[in-house]
A and B are shown apart, each in its own frame.
Chain A
């Protein structure tokens, strides 16, 4: 147990790709926590997908010993947080476990949307912020401009900003000293009953659920009976300890310290990020503030291509949920696609990551339908139903009105692109709120935009319309009434439930027309003509036709041609496996995502 005056708990926060994980790597290396030969890039990112995509999805905590220039030894707890906007809540809980934050800003990119958002969150959590200008080794680095931006845009004094390079290690020593001197030691009552914050948790196949915790008051000992206050569950502290990042069991975690707790629970559902742990007997009644349930924002149908993969898919989702309480799912039946699941995600990145893990780690061939949001449908008579899938939409006659989720979006761009962002966002039904010049080079635009529009390829469009300069951050704003209709897509005259989607009335015609054209390109010619129609209720808005295939034969088939023919038929067979037979129409997977690629 370390005296709290020699403990420093801090996070590193940054916009995505500003070099946070590399900087963490360097800190571990320079404090001797990890020998250089054991070093692996992005050490704290443990999932393959995290390393490949260069992003952090789960939070991490590492304890580091630092021999400071004053001759004293300090315990640093470094908490690495997710950098993506989908995981904002996890970031906020990680910050709540700290007294300070290192705000990393790329010396070539300057302040971006999540820099602002994360800095705001750190300030709201009353953290001491140490600005750090990273990547100063790059030729295009402009630390003075970035220093001015930090002061102008964030109102954080940046005279003493640390100039560093995670890549070369320059400035990392300065950073470590700044942590000792600028970040306050934890305060907390060592003699009070235990209060500990869960800021992350994961499932270990051998030991069950492990929670990452910050001791706020009191202490946590191995063998104690503990209570998870939000879920009301009592557990036994099977093991407590610190991560370096290799786990070191300890008899006890003292006040102000950060470490892990092996709960022995088999189900992550009870160990919720943001929950407070106290003693089962003689514990406190007042939990730490700020707990909230993680709530999915985006829903999609996941269906196995081969129907015999339904059970394996279910098992895979169960396994992933063990480690990802934000992942919600329930069975869904589609006339077109058979049995599958409606799955809720925090955002599009979360969805992509989960789908990729299901396909890669569980070897499943999946078909995902276009993502949708949660609509609130108010029926005649006042009853409200939450709609996660267009298929559940009641008859128009039963509907009084529909509300859809809106976001407050914050977009940071150079002033030259204000027009481009206006055009794009207005076309996506965005409502302009206000605009501020954060500095000469950075404009902050605030919008209200329906979430359903944002998930339609908005971010990619925003990036391409601003030559990659725009950065985006958003927050849930609430539900608002909207003129929404369900657009059906019919193949050969039959509505295909998995292709239907909900759209604003004014956009239905354009979307329907473009989508039918797109589907005509995607759906290969079949043995018969396939009419594609877009319709609302019984009214057809657009129609295209995939002409019937008249010939596909390769005529020659003599001695050696037969082996070649067999190869070709084998390939044809494999190709069909990547398609879904709907009635007698073979539909390729990308058809179900085509709606996302519809340009305005």
Chain B
């Protein structure tokens, strides 16, 4: 179908040094010198060049190299990939180019080289600065390695993000609090905070089923998400999305694209592509369509995703949505009454409660179409 230009590009690297106990992402534990990685990277480069020739990369404003663990594949392959990218699209400083890295494989040399090849944002999978917690979730690094990685990143990057997890069995409120404080002390400009979820077919899932591991407690997770909110706010971070905190100007533009109905192209195994025009929106992964939305469903989805973000949805956007979703006002009134959303400065925004009870909030909007 004729579609609007892609403005965000996602590249997937499905390799890790080991699988973490909670992980259900498309990735596999493969040794760095495995030839399968070479074959995959070559295919990825070819696909980038092909999309470039088709003109699909001409309007890209953000790039995200995610995984798996992109830092795990080593510098020579990353060079190939970033070189292919830089010759296939306009990769200048105004284009946000993020890369995910894990502490065990991010070296000072890698930091220098990827910076030189155009990466300008690093997202480091720290998860916790508590060795016991790191062991519980089966990470390949310890707290010290995490600190070193962030320090190394700061040799070149100003835009460094740190991922943290809460609600991990055995992780006390104090432990989580120390991890958040440590991230602040280390001077990162962006923090993401995820509550642990038990996904099917993961080691954690089996452990919960067999009773070895207690199920994460929603109340504890809510508590810890609020701890993160108050510590980070005090340190000058703004919570711009339910799980994302940034110093002013350091919001992740690529992720914002996902939540604002911007079309994105995914290249690589399990990478999702979103294509749309004014009447239809589709999502595809590995050649199969996962979503096929009509105009009403698109509008409802935009509202739903918009409510993940602090800035919410503008009154203007809601006025447009009202034209296709006749029950919208009724639903909004109910959400406001239930304290899940609130109006301010002519925008409908999620409340703290709305963020925590996100499935209620998004569900109500989802049900409109």
- Give me the interface of A with B, judged by CB distance under 8 Å: 527, 549-560, 562-563, 565-566, 568-570, 572-573
A570 to B, closest residue via Cβ: B366
In the complex, the 10 A-B pairs of residues with the closest C-beta atoms, listed nearest first = A553-B358, A560-B272, A551-B222, A563-B290, A555-B243, A550-B222, A559-B272, A569-B366, A551-B356, A552-B359
B367 to A, closest residue via Cβ: A573
Provided the pairs A557-B259, A563-B285 are in contact, do residues A569 and B194 lie with their beta carbons within 8 angstroms? no
In this complex, which of A527, A551, A552, A562 has the most chain B Cβ atoms within 10 angstroms of its Cβ? A551
Q: Give min CB distance, B166 to chain A, whole Å.
A: 9
Which of B35-43, B263-271, B316-324 faces chain A? B263-271
Chain A residues with Cβ below 8 Å from B264 are 559
| A518, B201: Cα distance in complex, Å | 31
Q: Besides A551-B221, A557-B308, A563-B290, 9 other CB < 8 A contacts?
A: A551-B219, A551-B222, A555-B194, A557-B305, A559-B258, A559-B264, A560-B270, A562-B283, A563-B283
B259 to A, closest residue via Cβ: A557
Q: Give min CB distance, B369 to chain A, whole Å.
A: 11
B4 at the interface (CB under 8 A from A): no
Provided the pairs A552-B357, A560-B285 are in contact, do residues A572 and B291 lie with their beta carbons within 8 angstroms? no
Is the Cβ of A552 less than 8 Å from the Cβ of B358?
yes
Is the Cβ of B291 less than 8 Å from the Cβ of A562?
yes
Is the Cβ of B218 less than 8 Å from the Cβ of A550?
yes
Is the Cβ of B362 less than 8 Å from the Cβ of A552?
no
B265 to A, closest residue via Cβ: A559
Is the Cβ of B219 less than 8 Å from the Cβ of A558?
no
| A65, B332: Cα distance in complex, Å | 75
Contact with A along B284-296 (1 / 0, CB 8 A): 0100001100000
| A549, B353: Cα distance in complex, Å | 10
Chain A residues with Cβ below 8 Å from B359 are 552-554, 568-569, 572
Q: Which of A550, A559, A562, A573 is the one whose CB lies under 8 Å from B363?
A: A573
| A560, B259: Cα distance in complex, Å | 12
Q: Give min CB distance, A535 to chain B, whole Å.
A: 28
| A296, B359: Cα distance in complex, Å | 46
Q: Give min CB distance, A365 to chain B, whole Å.
A: 18
Chain B residues with Cβ below 8 Å from A573 are 363, 366-367
Is the Cβ of A555 less than 8 Å from the Cβ of B242?
yes
B255 at the interface (CB under 8 A from A): yes
Q: Give min CB distance, B258 to chain A, whole Å.
A: 5
B279 at the interface (CB under 8 A from A): no
B360 at the interface (CB under 8 A from A): yes
Provided the pairs A557-B258, A559-B272, A562-B272 are in contact, do residues A527 and B285 lie with their beta carbons within 8 angstroms? no
Provided the pairs A555-B194, A555-B242 are in contact, do residues A569 and B274 lie with their beta carbons within 8 angstroms? no
Number of chain B interface residues as a range: 35 or more
Is the Cβ of A553 less than 8 Å from the Cβ of B259?
no
Q: Is the interface of A mostly helix, strand, loop or mixed?
A: loop
| A596, B80: Cα distance in complex, Å | 69
B195 at the interface (CB under 8 A from A): yes
Chain B residues with Cβ below 8 Å from A550 are 218-219, 222, 356-357
| A426, B301: Cα distance in complex, Å | 60
Provided the pairs A557-B259, A557-B308 are in contact, do residues A566 and B357 lie with their beta carbons within 8 angstroms? no
Q: Which of A553, A559, A566, A569 is the one whose CB lies under 8 Å from B356?
A: A553
B355 at the interface (CB under 8 A from A): yes
Provided the pairs A549-B357, A557-B258 are in contact, do residues A565 and B338 lie with their beta carbons within 8 angstroms? no
Q: Give min CB distance, B198 to chain A, whole Å.
A: 11
B10 at the interface (CB under 8 A from A): yes
B193 at the interface (CB under 8 A from A): yes
Provided the pairs A560-B266, A566-B366 are in contact, do residues A551 and B357 lie with their beta carbons within 8 angstroms? yes
- Give me the interface of B with A, judged by CB distance under 8 Å: 10, 193-195, 197, 218-219, 221-222, 225, 242-243, 255, 258-259, 264, 266, 270-272, 274, 283, 285, 290-291, 301, 305, 308, 338, 340, 355-360, 362-363, 366-367
14 A-B pairs whose Cβ atoms sit less than 8 Å apart in the complex: A527-B338, A550-B356, A551-B218, A555-B197, A556-B194, A557-B259, A559-B272, A560-B270, A562-B274, A562-B305, A563-B272, A563-B285, A563-B291, A566-B291
| A569, B365: Cα distance in complex, Å | 10
A553 to B, closest residue via Cβ: B358
Is the Cβ of B255 less than 8 Å from the Cβ of A553?
no
Chain B residues with Cβ below 8 Å from A568 are 359
Provided the pairs A555-B242, A560-B285 are in contact, do residues A527 and B255 lie with their beta carbons within 8 angstroms? no
| A560, B10: Cα distance in complex, Å | 10
Chain A residues with Cβ below 8 Å from B10 are 559
| A569, B300: Cα distance in complex, Å | 13
Q: Which of A527, A553, A555, A559 is the one whose CB lies under 8 Å from B274?
A: A559
Chain A residues with Cβ below 8 Å from B194 are 555-556
| A91, B291: Cα distance in complex, Å | 58
Q: Give min CB distance, A534 to chain B, whole Å.
A: 27
Is the Cβ of B218 less than 8 Å from the Cβ of A549?
yes
Is the Cβ of A556 less than 8 Å from the Cβ of B243?
yes
B243 to A, closest residue via Cβ: A555
Q: Give min CB distance, A422 to chain B, whole Å.
A: 39
| A566, B365: Cα distance in complex, Å | 11
B362 to A, closest residue via Cβ: A569
A572 to B, closest residue via Cβ: B363
A558 to B, closest residue via Cβ: B258
B365 to A, closest residue via Cβ: A569
Q: Give min CB distance, A558 to chain B, whole Å.
A: 5
B360 to A, closest residue via Cβ: A527
| A559, B269: Cα distance in complex, Å | 13
Chain A residues with Cβ below 8 Å from B225 are 551
Is the Cβ of B357 less than 8 Å from the Cβ of A562?
no
Chain B residues with Cβ below 8 Å from A563 are 272, 283, 285, 290-291
Is the Cβ of A559 less than 8 Å from the Cβ of B259?
no
Is the Cβ of A555 less than 8 Å from the Cβ of B357?
no
| A327, B231: Cα distance in complex, Å | 66
Chain A residues with Cβ below 8 Å from B338 are 527
Provided the pairs A560-B271, A569-B362 are in contact, do residues A527 and B357 lie with their beta carbons within 8 angstroms? yes
| A572, B367: Cα distance in complex, Å | 10
Chain B residues with Cβ below 8 Å from A552 are 218, 356-360
| A577, B357: Cα distance in complex, Å | 19
Chain A residues with Cβ below 8 Å from B193 are 555
Is the Cβ of B271 less than 8 Å from the Cβ of A559?
yes
| A553, B359: Cα distance in complex, Å | 5
In this complex, which of A553, A562, A563 has the most chain B Cβ atoms within 10 angstroms of its Cβ? A553
| A258, B305: Cα distance in complex, Å | 72
| A291, B312: Cα distance in complex, Å | 73
| A563, B285: Cα distance in complex, Å | 10
Q: Which of A554, A558, A560 is the one whose CB lies under 8 Å from B197?
A: A554
Q: Which of A553, A558, A562, A569 is the one whose CB lies under 8 Å from B242?
A: A553
Chain B residues with Cβ below 8 Å from A565 are 362
Provided the pairs A565-B362, A566-B366, A572-B363 are in contact, do residues A558 and B255 lie with their beta carbons within 8 angstroms? yes
Chain B residues with Cβ below 8 Å from A562 are 258, 272, 274, 283, 291, 301, 305
Is the Cβ of A569 less than 8 Å from the Cβ of B291?
no
Q: Give min CB distance, B128 to chain A, whole Å.
A: 16
Chain A residues with Cβ below 8 Å from B291 are 562-563, 566
A525 to B, closest residue via Cβ: B218
| A527, B363: Cα distance in complex, Å | 13
Q: Give min CB distance, A523 to chain B, whole Å.
A: 16
| A151, B161: Cα distance in complex, Å | 88
Chain B residues with Cβ below 8 Å from A569 are 359, 362-363, 366-367
Chain A residues with Cβ below 8 Å from B271 are 559-560
A559 to B, closest residue via Cβ: B272
In this complex, which of A549, A556, A562, A572 has the most chain B Cβ atoms within 10 angstroms of its Cβ? A562
